[in-house]
Amino acid sequence: MATYHDDIHVYYLVDLVKNERIPPARGKTGGIVLAGWSLGATWIIALLAHVAEFPVGDVRLGEYVRRLVLYDPSYLCFGYPYPTGTYHPLHDLASPVEERLDKFGVWVSSYFTHGDLLASGLKALADRNAAEDPPPTVATMSAEDLAESTSSAGAPGGCEDLFAQTCFAHGVYESLRKQAFFLRDVPAGGDDWRSVELRYIWCDRSIWEMPGESPFHGRSLIFQSA
């Protein structure tokens, strides 16, 4: 059962609706659109998994949230088994730990040319050899901009890395995925978000974790809902 401190997002949204006089969602107008980018998609998934458990006051958020967007989420966010043999600079044991974060910055902001995923599966993914053009985004940034927009929290042993790996290892992401994406009965008095639109957007030239997840995620939904 969710408790008050489990998801402050719900209470923030309630305050937003009240204080900003947000109109209810009506088709393609009004309401709120919530988006989670990359690992941030886990917060959208967690919200969707547990929102029906929160007490409903004078604002029923299901009437105000028009759309949820998972924008280029990582394979990690859904708790699928991590494929063996794929490269990730943060987990590269051949690389000194102090160099991994910088290598990750270059890798994650590079552009990759992947093959046909539906035809060849994970073998179609380019995990190491990025395209030369366009260059990695970090290569086009000034030192000042790079310092302002990056953090060591994602480095091996950093708080974001520990959080992500711990949730993955203990099945948290898998559990949230199953609770969020497959419709269940709403508890009496709970907020019903089953009709809220959910959009999944991935970038074809992202690192392998993003486009590599998309076709298998769709196939998973088909199999489990049959």
Write a three-state SS string for the chain. Answer: CCCHHHCHHHHHHHHHHHHCCCCCCECCECCEEEEEEHHHHHHHHHHHHHHHHCCCCCCCHHHCEEEEEEECCCHHHHCCCCCCCCCCHHHCCCCCHHHHHHHHHHHHCCCCCCCCHHHHHHHHCCCCCCCCCCCCHHHHCCHHHHHHHCCHHHCCCCHHHHHHHHHHHCCHHHHHHHHHHCCCCCCCCCCCCCCCEEEEECCCCCCCCCCCCHHHHHHHHHHHHC
CB 51 within 8 A of CB 10: yes
* Other residues' Cβ atoms within 10 Å of the Cβ of residue 131: 13
Taking 70 as the threshold, does the pLDDT of residue 1 lie above it? no
Query: pLDDT (tens digit, 9 = 90+) per residue, 82-117?
Result: 788 889 998 899 999 889 989 999 999 999 999 988
Instruction: Give the model's pLDDT for residue 213.
Output: 64
pLDDT for residue 214 = 61
Q: Do 171 and 178 meet the contact criterion of CB atoms below 8 Å apart? A: no
User: Is the confidence at residue 220, as pLDDT, over 60?
Assistant: no
pTM reported for the whole predicted model: 0.84
What pLDDT shows up at residue 221?
40
Structure tokens at 115: 């093959």
Radius of gyration of the chain from its Cα atoms, rounded to whole angstroms: 19
Mean pLDDT in residue range 143-153 = 85
What are the tens digits of pLDDT across the range 43-72? 999 999 999 888 888 899 999 999 999 999
Residue 223 has pLDDT above 50, yes or no: no
Instruction: pLDDT band for 11, please (50, 70, 90 cuts).
Output: confident
Residue 225: its pLDDT value, please? Answer: 35
What pLDDT, on a 0 to 100 scale, did the predictor assign at position 216? 52
What is the tens place of the pLDDT at every residue in 165-219? 899 889 999 999 999 988 888 888 889 898 899 999 989 999 998 887 665 555 4
CA quadruple 125, 128, 133, 136: dihedral, nearest 10? 110
The residue with greater pLDDT, 217 or 141, is 141
Residue 172: Cβ within 10 Å count: 16
Local confidence band at 24 (pLDDT 50, 70, 90 cut-offs) = very high
